Structure 1
Amino acid sequence: MQIVQVLEKTVSPDKDELLAAKNFLEQAAATNLPGFLQTLSDVLACASYSPVARMAAGLQLKNQLTSKELNIKIRYQQRWLSFPENIRELIKTNIIGSLGTESTRPSSAAQCVAYVAMRQESPSSCRIEDPNNSHRPAKINSLPQHAEGSGSIPVARDVKEIYFDLH
Structure 2
Amino acid sequence: MTVFLLYRARAPMPGEQANVQPAADKFGDSGQAGVASAGLSVADATMRGSLRELEVVMKSVLIAAATVGVAIALSPVAAAEPSWTMPNLIGMDLQGAQDAIQSLTHGEVWFSSSTDLTGKGRAQISDRNWQVCSSTPAPGAKFSVSTEIDFGVVRVSEDCP
TM-score by length of 2: 0.20
**The structure with more strand, counted as a fraction of residues:** 2
**The structure with more helix, counted as a fraction of residues:** 1
Higher Cα Rg: structure 1 or 2?
Answer: 2
